[in-house]
Structure 1
């Protein structure tokens, strides 16, 4: 729930504002002095501070400056309140970092608008900071293969436009990273990047996730929820696994794309937005259209700029660069900032067919670091045997089933069990309960088998 701090020495104003804001569903705290307000901001997370300019113990603008300089996890937006509003005071407040300036007597309508806008500004600031952090962690679009060089060129060419993007590729190839790179290179890079995994949201909830809802629309739920379309206003909305949307949801998304507006659940007036949509799928959408599972008109709305992310088995020359990136990511986390992998180990990784693509390689690097806490130079012996002695691909790209690839029946069985489980997990988008049902196993049994076979999948 959004938290607001009201700082004003007039008790009637505190009580009036508190009552109005609580009715709107906000959590509200009040204070009559600057000294107490500064302590509250240090101790709790506030989204917005409504700060009077005249306080008994300290000047409000001086207090504003202290709040903006605080070294806390998330600095709140500050709205200055004054009974003697002047242009000079408003300008000074803005220069000190105030989000807006309200004059007494306060207008209820304007106060609510300013508070709502300040909330959105703070959320956008947090989204941008999180995006920058994740991009720094995940790195750029890594690879020196011809396919990845072409992909980077395509990103540079298409990112500055507002054209919708549809990214195709197998699970684990890095489609979300391509979407983030597109946003980071676009004219919207300073606006929010909001993502939604369409396969992870139950059908009954996806509409409210996309479009949000208003007061009273969801019994027992929050007063109001902003959907992903609204939170992405001015920025980019990344719809992952868009092929898993129901036809009903597809129709509503199509209308929102066409009109750039939508009606939140329980609302009487539409919300207008300016959103660039980047969608991704591991399905053949043209085949889904033929089966009647995907709307053809939505496909053409999304597929303005198509991208294809190749599987890792088709760009194995990128494996050393990816391994280096993942070692730089995980090494410091596990106390080894300078850990390396030798050429023999890299050769072993190149021989594997990587059904889980880049995600599987990333998980493997982390696993090797965890299981070998004192190793600074990773060798072939540290790589799980299932990788360098498991099934390999033939020249045609199919799994080699020759028995001489394995030294024992146990190895062969484990390799093919692992392959079959990974395939089933891909089919159900990593949902272990559904995978266990499809495999005819108890969920706990599947977990144990995954652990034994080195399969690392997060739900």
Structure 2
């Protein structure tokens, strides 16, 4: 039973008992097939709902690059402002790779303090610290033969960076509280909204780790630099967010769409998605007009402040000239 057997019969056995056991085995196998089919269908639906959208020149170049690098095991660094879709790039690479049958494990490096992040990444042994009542596998161990997506890698402390470097170099690590090395076969995709080269210059990011991660670099452009993709994005979000489950996608007036295209979107695709979802709710399934768009509150958008701050810190001169161009100056 411990090596994968579902059930057993003892000798001498009755024919009826054997048939009943076999019936349960086949019933379980049928259920497993149904579950796998359902998972596959749900995966397809999710892929349609959560995908990269756009046919602009910058996006076509990104699609080409994803196609070239997906089949390799090279580490990938995805850069770009908040809300540009870096996580979707990681998902697309994983789905197009030979590692697709295995998990894509996502970790936000900014969501947890250093000690908790290391426990999340490397796992721990029972009794290794107060509250460690059982052994726990970390994300790297769970992702074996799959892909690990490290979001906001620039927020990782230097101490944790050192341990990550060892995994990239030697493909091994120890759980917290253990001295036994564990081998893992993983691909690492990291994402950042910071300029990591500048972080290296400021001694806030390890140079050797930067080069290990930056084997392949994919930069996601801000939405203001690919405004020709906004109509397709709006159509995608209108299909994703419907007034009711059985409703057809809401439509949008030409005037409202022109307003969306004309806006600068400091919060990028995420801000546009929120605006469309809000408009669908307010329009109650009727065609979306300018009145349902949140442009009064978007004069000083909360969702865009962080992106604006990041842009100012890392590319101040470029940002100012981009803003002047977008305003017609």
Does the alignment reach a TM-score above 0.5?
Answer: yes
Contact 1:165 1:307 in 2 (8 A): yes
In 2, distance between residues paired with 1:130 and 1:192?
15
Aligned twin of 2:8? 53
In 1, distance between residues paired with 2:191 and 2:42?
21
Counting only pairs closer than 5 Å after superposition, residues 310-459 of structure 1 correspond to structure 2 as: 310-331=221-242, 333=244, 335-375=246-286, 377-386=287-296, 415-416=299-300, 418=301, 422-424=304-306
SS in 2 for 1:341: coil
Q: Judging changes above 3 Å, is the alpha-carbon distance between structure 1 residues 192 and 332 closer, same or farther for their aligned structure 2 residues? A: farther
Aligned twin of 1:189? 100
In 2, distance between residues paired with 1:368 and 1:379?
8
Whose Rg is larger? 1
In 1, distance between residues paired with 2:41 and 2:212?
30
Counting only pairs closer than 5 Å after superposition, residues 152-301 of structure 1 correspond to structure 2 as: 152-301=63-212
Q: Deviations over 1:201-258 (max 9, x none)?
A: 1212011111111222243345121111111110111000000000000000001110
Q: Deviations over 1:178-218 (max 9, x none)?
A: 00001111111111111101011121201111111122224
In 1, distance between residues paired with 2:97 and 2:288?
38
Contact 2:99 2:145 in 1 (8 A): yes
Aligned twin of 1:435? none
Q: Judging changes above 3 Å, is the alpha-carbon distance between structure 1 residues 379 and 334 closer, same or farther for their aligned structure 2 residues? A: farther
Aligned twin of 1:108? none
Q: Deviations over 1:251-287 (max 9, x none)?
A: 0000111000100112231111110000000000011
* Deviation of 1:317 (Å): 0.5
In 1, distance between residues paired with 2:41 and 2:151?
21
Contact 1:173 1:309 in 2 (8 A): yes
Q: Judging changes above 3 Å, is the alpha-carbon distance between structure 1 residues 74 and 238 closer, same or farther for their aligned structure 2 residues? A: same
In 1, distance between residues paired with 2:185 and 2:234?
38
Structure 1 unaligned spans of 5+: 1-5, 7-16, 18-47, 76-124, 391-414, 429-459
In 1, distance between residues paired with 2:251 and 2:304?
28
Contact 2:237 2:273 in 1 (8 A): yes
Contact 2:126 2:132 in 1 (8 A): no
SS in 2 for 1:187: coil
Structure 1's consecutive aligned runs of 4 or more residues displaced over 4 angstroms after TM superposition are 55-58, 71-75, 128-133, 332-335, 424-428
Contact 2:75 2:213 in 1 (8 A): yes
In 1, distance between residues paired with 2:164 and 2:42?
26
Aligned twin of 2:30? 69
Q: Which TM-score applies when normalising by structure 1?
A: 0.61
* Deviation of 1:168 (Å): 0.5
* Deviation of 1:69 (Å): 2.0
SS in 2 for 1:252: helix
Q: Judging changes above 3 Å, is the alpha-carbon distance between structure 1 residues 254 and 268 closer, same or farther for their aligned structure 2 residues? A: same
In 2, distance between residues paired with 1:267 and 1:352?
54
Q: Which TM-score applies when normalising by structure 2?
A: 0.84
In 1, distance between residues paired with 2:83 and 2:260?
16
Higher-RCO chain (CA-CA 8 Å, sequence separation at least 6)? 2
In 1, distance between residues paired with 2:22 and 2:83?
50
* Deviation of 1:170 (Å): 0.2
Aligned twin of 1:39? none
Question: What RMSD over aligned residues (CA atoms) do the two structures have, in Å?
Answer: 2.8
SS in 2 for 1:162: coil
